[in-house]
Amino acid sequence: MEPARLTQFGAVELARAIAAGDVSAREVVDAHIERIEEVDGDLNAVVIRRFEAARAEATAADAARRAGATLGPLHGVPVVIKDQFDVAGLPTTFGTASRRERVAQDDGQVVAAWRRAGAIVLGKGNVPQYLQAVETDNDVFGRTNNPWDTERTPGGSSGADAAIVAAGGVPLALGADLGGSLRVPAAWCGVATLAPTVRRPLDEAAAAARAESPPDGRKGVPMMHTRTPHGGAAPIRRRGRARPSKPSGPECWVSGAR
């Protein structure tokens, strides 16, 4: 399949195609890296990258499929993570210079759940300083631009996630929302998102986001930007009925997709 076509599919379609052997995870990851390299000079969205590690993980994902391993619902799907959540081996800056050298030793809980589901992290998306703006700009990485008009903002604070999804760089990006941090960029960039009902993402998932909030205690509920509304089914579908009084942990973010 042509690389340009692969960057037009949503996360669910890509995961199904990889699982069926119609396309390899390496082809999917390579196509999205190529797209990021093509567009991100104008957007400045994916400001922390791990492309070579992602390629190696995609090759391993293909080997696992050929060996008959059980595949997660995001197996081989490339994603970008908002620079609020820890990714092992990468800095978590919150857009501030004082944190630029603070490299995470482990994945945050939600990132770890996505990776257990098979997601392949290509890098991290830019944020405003300490996530506190309706645009995406900081003194560390500079300004992220809207893919529809680079003279305009993609919104914030998850603006880079929305921008790179809208531009075809990834089908799925992890962000967080408190007062519109996902919803505003989704509207301004033309992608899909979901603002969870209070306690709807189970308590441990919300606690994971709070643990990765900036020093002033600003909180956000983790959720994603996707190319299409049904593209978020794999990360949020749960087994069984929602029971807010009996949370079952961040694993609920990635289990049971069909």
∠ Cα 171 172 176 (to 5°): 155
The CATH number that applies at residue 61 is 3.90.1300.10
- Residue 33: count of CB within 10 angstroms of its CB: 23
Residue 85 lies in a domain: yes
Position 37 pLDDT exceeds 50: yes
| Position 25 confidence tier, pLDDT thresholds 50, 70, 90 | very high
Q: Please give the Cα distance from 201 to 182 (Å, whole number).
A: 15
Average pLDDT, the chain: 85
Q: Is 15 part of any domain? A: yes
DSSP sequence for 81-148 = EETTS--TTSB--TT-GGGTT-B-SS--HHHHHHHHTT-EEEEEE---GGG-SSS-EETTTEE--BTT
What pLDDT score was predicted for residue 76?
98
- Answer for the pair 155, 189: CB distance below 8 angstroms, yes or no: yes
The residue among 85, 226, 222 whose CA lies nearest residue 168 is 226
Flag whether 221 is in a domain.
yes
Q: What is the pTM of this model?
A: 0.85
pLDDT in tens, 167-180: 999 999 999 988 89
Name the band, by pLDDT with cuts 50, 70 and 90, for residue 147: very high
Which single residue is written with the structure tokens 């893919």? 147
Domain count, the chain: 1
Q: What is the pLDDT of residues 89-145, one digit of tens each?
A: 999 999 999 999 999 999 999 999 999 999 999 999 999 999 999 999 999 999 999
pLDDT at 243: 34
Range of the domain at 193: 3-253
Q: Is residue 258 part of a domain?
A: no
Is 109 among the domain residues? yes
- Strand ranges of the sheet holding 120-125, from the earlier edge strand across to the other edge: 46-49, 120-125, 78-82, 172-177, 221-226, 192-193
Q: Do the domain assignments include residue 223?
A: yes
Average pLDDT for 132-159: 97
Q: Which residues are catalytic?
A: 82, 157, 181
Q: Map residue 41 onto helix, strand or coil.
A: helix
